[in-house]
Amino acid sequence: MIPRPPLAPPGVLIEEALACDAAFFAPKEDYVALAGALKADGFEMCVDVCGVDYLEYFDRAVPEGVVPTRFEVVAIFLSLSRRQRVRVRVQAGNDAPRVDTLFHVYPGTEAPERETFDLFGILFDGHPDLTRILMPEDWEGHPLRKDYGVGHVPIQFKEAPGPR
Amino acid sequence: MSDLTRVADRPERLMGETSEGAQELTRRIDTSTDELGREVGAVLRLDGVTLDPRQVDYERHDDETMIINMGPAHPSTHGVLRLMLELDGEFVLRTKTVIGYLHTGMEKTGETLSYVQGATNVTRMDYLSPVINELSYSMTVEKLLGVEVPERATWIRMLMSELNRVSSHLVWMATNGMDLGSTSMMIYGLRERELILAFFEKTAGLRLNLNYVRPGGVAADLPDGWQDDVEVICNTIDERTYEYDQLLTGQPIFRNRLVGVGSITAEEALALGLTGPLLRSTGVPWDLRRTMPYLAYDQVDFDVIVGTYGDNFDRYAIRLNEIRESIRIVRQCVEKMPKGDYRSQDPKVTPPPRARIGESMEALIHHFKLFTEGFHVPAGEVYSAVESPRGELGCYMVADGGPKPYRLHVRAPSFTNLQAIPLLMRGGSISDAITMISTVDPVLGEVDR
């Protein structure tokens, strides 16, 4: 089993959590260590990293001891040998969200973390190349944040070059 | 009149308009060590050993190599993929992909559409396998809702997904053939795909973005005489795969371009999170249809095709043989197709039948509410994945109890698979670079979403 038992959701044993589709909540400072433990434990692949902006949902269901913050980073791990998936949810912070990068444990998280940074503005400490990936380089704001409006944004594409 | 000066006369303006700044490949002296390591394709980590990527190619100075730009409007980049390559003569030293040219904010759009409308949105992501996109989305919504899908709907979904997989692989065969100069394969691949698209049109009314699989079931029952149509498709394509064998598999020029080119190992593939044919080509038998069965894949008989060397030829052979395996599954679907409903009879997600709307006010209101407001989904968060022709297509959804998803994230296999490009390109020649892009099989609609 996982050497360092992480916080499981209320009422769910770790064995059960592994068997079903439940998530673990990792403290921010233990996040990378937990990923390393998972990797050593047979979770060969980090399938995805994504962010969630819980702007209005500070009262969402989290286990005891976890302080919900506005931004959450969700990492999904897959074990090929055990045929299991595990989801790890990390509270990233409110105003200046940042977590450590998984890049040095799972090199495949480079692009998903860049995407999360681009669309949510969550910083990943230690990431090799934290630049925008989907949006243009000079774009302002992070579009998937909940306070980033839909349909009221002036079009920010570059100025038309005029007749050639 | 100043606007009328030719743009080419003002190169700094041209640069300013097209530059993507730090997203681009820069000179070695301006690149950090970690980033340089990525660009030369360093993937694996070894405990206690630090290798400085600056020691790689150290005999080449920045003024001896050339950084060139390929795309985003290059015909062989399968859409709007842009590559920046550092070349030493004809050989590739570093690669960086610049993506986002097709980004339309579909995840953000998904948050403004109700669960009923959502399938219309996701079907446009991976435009070569729309049914599988809808399937991933619908299965996630059903998981949150706890709705049971009738058996017939499950088998219809499986039939359509496998036909879609065949059509997607046929397009891959076609474009890969064209990238290698076999224009005949281009025509043949698209010709066979036309059979499947015609069947899709007959079933769902549309050829490409079907919006056919929806939460709770499928949009319509299979048309009358569908068995005969599917039989014709199976027989034709099965026979033609042997013609492709004759045309390509044994052909010396084709083999020389593919065999032993662009090898990756299983460790590298796992570290990069690659899935689908890319992972299977390295010998890892990982196919979600077999290893984590969904729908009724545990009730049909098929083989998971794996390669040995992880090179381009293995990836070609895997896709060709997956067409045959999918045809096998389709035949079993025809045989075992159960009778019954094609969508759930749960009134929460399914509108009343058309005949009821004319005679019952309640049915009319129910129908109206379902398509204007949509159904409410209990709060929760869930991830579910299916095997798309390109790998693991996952959908992560957070529901807040309302009629729209609070957060919709799609784990696009092409997006992750693109990370293998620097590794594959490293040390190869520029002409093989085209083949590498092709065998990774990125669909840019899904990469950029």
Query: Which pLDDT belongs to residue A71?
Result: 92
Q: Note whether B273 contacts A138, CB cutoff 8 Å.
A: no
CA-nearest of B173, B106, B85, B166 to B132 is B166
- What percent of chain B shows pLDDT beyond 90? 35
β-strand partners of B396: B383, B409
Query: Which pLDDT belongs to residue A25?
Result: 84
CA distances for B142 relative to B270, B275, B395, B406, angstroms: 30, 24, 12, 16
Query: What pLDDT digit, counting tens, does each position of B174-224 carry?
Result: 999 888 888 888 999 999 999 999 999 999 988 888 889 998 889 889 999
Query: Which pLDDT belongs to residue A65?
Result: 77
Q: Which of B23, B272, B291 is nearest residue A107 as measured by Cβ atoms?
A: B272
| Residue B4 predicted with pLDDT over 60 | no
Query: Which pLDDT belongs to residue A1?
Result: 34
CB B288 within 8 A of CB B387: yes
First CA to last CA distance, chain B: 40
Residue B55 CB-half CA count within 13 A: 4
Q: Note whether A112 contacts B418, CB cutoff 8 Å.
A: no
Query: Which pLDDT belongs to residue A64?
Result: 75
| Residue A9 predicted with pLDDT over 80 | no
State the burial class of residue B88 (Cβ atoms within 10 Å of its Cβ: 0-12, 13-18, 19+): middle
Query: Which pLDDT belongs to residue A36?
Result: 86
Query: What pLDDT digit, counting tens, does each position of B381-406 carry?
Result: 889 899 999 999 999 999 888 899 99
The least confident of B3-17, B311-325, B366-380, B406-420 is B3-17
- The nearest CA of chain A is from the CA of B213 a distance in Å of 23
| Residue B410 predicted with pLDDT over 90 | yes
Query: What distance separates the 2 farthest-apart alpha carbons in chain B?
Result: 83
Query: Which pLDDT belongs to residue A23?
Result: 76
Fill in the DSSP letter of residue B429. B
Q: Note whether B23 contacts A107, CB cutoff 8 Å.
A: no
Query: Which pLDDT belongs to residue B328?
Result: 93
Query: Which pLDDT belongs to residue B2?
Result: 52
Fill in the DSSP letter of residue B214. E
On average, the pLDDT of chain B sits at 87
Locate tokens 């435009």: which residue?
B127
* CB-CB neighbors (< 8 A) of B385 in chain A: 47, 85
Query: Which pLDDT belongs to residue A5?
Result: 40
What integer is the mean pLDDT of B2-21?
A: 68
What integer is the mean pLDDT of B125-136?
A: 92
**Residue B399 is inside which H or E element, if any?**
strand B391-399
Q: Which two tokens stand for residue B281?
A: 């080509």
Query: Which pLDDT belongs to residue A164?
Result: 59
Query: How many residue pairs from chains A and B have C-beta atoms closer than 8 A?
Result: 130
The least confident of A17-21, B74-78, B238-242 is A17-21
Q: Note whether A80 contacts B409, CB cutoff 8 Å.
A: no
| 3-state SS, one letter per residue, for chain A | CCCCCCECCCCCCHHHHHHCCCEEEECHHHHHHHHHHHHHCCCCEEEEEEEEECCCCCCCCCCCCCCCCCEEEEEEEEECCCCEEEEEEEEEECCCCEEECCCCCCHHHHHHHHHHHHHHCCEEECCCCCCCCCCCCCCCCCCCCCCCCCCCCCCCCCCCCCCC
CATH number at residue A49: 3.30.460.80
Query: What pLDDT digit, counting tens, does each position of B271-327 carry?
Result: 899 999 999 999 999 999 988 888 889 899 999 999 999 899 999 999 999 999 999
| Residue A159 predicted with pLDDT over 80 | no
Q: Is residue A69 part of a domain?
A: yes
Q: Which two tokens stand for residue B190?
A: 């698209």
Q: Note whether A134 contacts B37, CB cutoff 8 Å.
A: no
**Residue B134 is inside which H or E element, if any?**
helix B130-145
Q: Note whether A137 contacts B19, CB cutoff 8 Å.
A: yes
**Which chain B residue's Cα is nearest to A126?**
B34
Q: Is residue A24 part of a domain?
A: yes
- ipTM value greater than 0.90: no
| Residue A154 predicted with pLDDT over 90 | no
First CA to last CA distance, chain A: 66
**Residue B97 is inside which H or E element, if any?**
strand B91-98
Q: Is residue A130 part of a domain?
A: no
| Residue B56 predicted with pLDDT over 90 | no
Q: Which two tokens stand for residue B384?
A: 């579910």
* CB-CB neighbors (< 8 A) of B386 in chain A: none
| Residue A2 predicted with pLDDT over 50 | no
- The nearest CA of chain B is from the CA of A6 a distance in Å of 19
Task: Look up the domain containing A68 and give its range.
Answer: 14-125
pLDDT-based confidence at A19, cuts 50/70/90? very low
Residue B349 CB-half CA count within 13 A: 24
| Residue A20 predicted with pLDDT over 70 | no
What integer is the mean pLDDT of A4-13?
A: 44
B106: Cβ–Cβ under 8 A, 6 or more apart, which residues?
B121, B122, B124, B125, B410, B449
Q: Of A89, A134, A156, which to mutate for an interface test with B (greatest number of B Cβ within 10 Å)?
A: A134
Query: Which pLDDT belongs to residue A156?
Result: 66
- The nearest CA of chain A is from the CA of B264 a distance in Å of 14
Count of domains for chain A: 1
Q: Any idea which architecture B106-411 has in CATH?
A: Orthogonal Bundle (1.10)
Query: Which pLDDT belongs to residue B7?
Result: 59
Q: Is residue A6 part of a domain?
A: no
Q: Note whether A132 contacts B34, CB cutoff 8 Å.
A: no
Distance CA A143, CA A70 (A): 15
- What percent of chain B shows pLDDT beyond 70? 94
Query: What pLDDT digit, counting tens, does each position of B248-271 carry?
Result: 888 898 898 889 888 899 988 998
B185 vs A1, residue with greater confidence: B185
Q: Is residue A113 part of a domain?
A: yes
Count of other CB atoms within 10 angstroms of residue B111 = 18
Query: Which pLDDT belongs to residue B324?
Result: 93
Q: Note whether A76 contacts B284, CB cutoff 8 Å.
A: no
Q: Which of B108, B274, B291 is nearest residue A143 as measured by Cβ atoms?
A: B108
- The nearest CA of chain A is from the CA of B35 a distance in Å of 5
B217: Cβ–Cβ under 8 A, 6 or more apart, which residues?
B149, B150, B153, B341, B342, B343, B344, B350
Domains in chain B: boundaries: 23-98, 106-411
| Residue B444 predicted with pLDDT over 80 | yes
B414 vs A42, residue with greater confidence: B414
Query: Which pLDDT belongs to residue A6?
Result: 47
- Sheet with strand B405-411: strands edge to edge: B380-388, B391-399, B405-411
Q: What angle do CA B29, A137, A70 make, to 5 degrees?
A: 110
SS3 label, residue B262: coil
Query: Which pLDDT belongs to residue B137?
Result: 93
Q: Note whether A111 contacts B292, CB cutoff 8 Å.
A: no
A61 vs B438, residue with greater confidence: B438
CB B352 within 8 A of CB B367: yes
How many angstroms from the chain centroid is the CA of residue B325? Answer: 18
Query: What pLDDT digit, counting tens, does each position of A89-127 carry?
Result: 898 888 889 999 998 889 889 999 999 999 999 999 988
The least confident of A117-126, A151-160, B162-171, B368-377 is A151-160
| Residue A29 predicted with pLDDT over 90 | no
Amino acid at B311: D
pLDDT-based confidence at B380, cuts 50/70/90? confident
What integer is the mean pLDDT of B35-47?
A: 75
Query: What pLDDT digit, counting tens, does each position of A63-85 carry?
Result: 777 888 999 999 999 888 888 88
Length of chain B, please? 449
| Helix/strand/coil percent split, chain B, to 5 | 55, 10, 35
CA-nearest of B179, B138, B190, B181 to B386 is B138
On average, the pLDDT of chain A sits at 80
| Residue A7 predicted with pLDDT over 50 | no
